[in-house]
Amino acid sequence: MTPEQITLVQSSFERLGPQLPAMATRFYQELFTRDPALRPLFTTPLPEQEVRFAEKLTEIVQAMPRLDELLTHTRALGARHVGYGVRAADYRTLGDALLAALAAVLGDGFDPPTREAWALAYNLVAETMLEGAAAARPISS
């Protein structure tokens, strides 16, 4: 990611402002529409999970210019996700749902360069979460 793309992710995220909770709600709707089988993995009440997800996303977006800190963070997050029953293929579904939720809430502000920057940022986060997951998972025989 270029510094310009990091700025695009951060400035578009800031534009969400008070609409961040609405984006989080929309995000889970998009996720479960894409794959209803993911719904039972979430045992925490959805409103609470939406808040956790929004807080974590805020931390990640803010940490983007400090890559080392970010990657330590996302590896640990990925390791925890093994215990939630999340599979590698689910990261693609979640990425699509996130981009759709951002597009719905940001409207015209979610222009192609902004979308591209978010897609890159999400892939980076997903890849490092999967690294953390691989390190946490016992080697199967």
CB 141, min distance to ligand HEM, A: 26
Pick from 15, 39, 52, 66: which binds ligand HEM (CB under 6 A)?
Answer: 52
CB 81, min distance to ligand HEM, A: 5
7 interacts with ligand HEM by CB under 6 A: no
38 interacts with ligand HEM by CB under 6 A: yes
Residue 15: both structure tokens together? 């534009």
28 interacts with ligand HEM by CB under 6 A: no
- Residue-wise burial string across 63-98, b where 16 or more C-beta atoms lie within 10 A, e elsewhere: bbeeeeebbebbbebbbebbeeebeeebbebbbbbb
CB 117, min distance to ligand HEM, A: 15
Pick from 4, 36, 43, 138: which binds ligand HEM (CB under 6 A)?
Answer: 43
Pick from 7, 44, 58, 62: which binds ligand HEM (CB under 6 A)?
Answer: 44
82 interacts with ligand HEM by CB under 6 A: no
Q: Which long-range contacts (CB under 8 A, 24 or more apart) does 73-77 make?
A: 74/125, 74/128, 74/129, 74/132, 75/128, 75/129, 75/131, 75/132, 75/135, 76/132, 77/129, 77/132
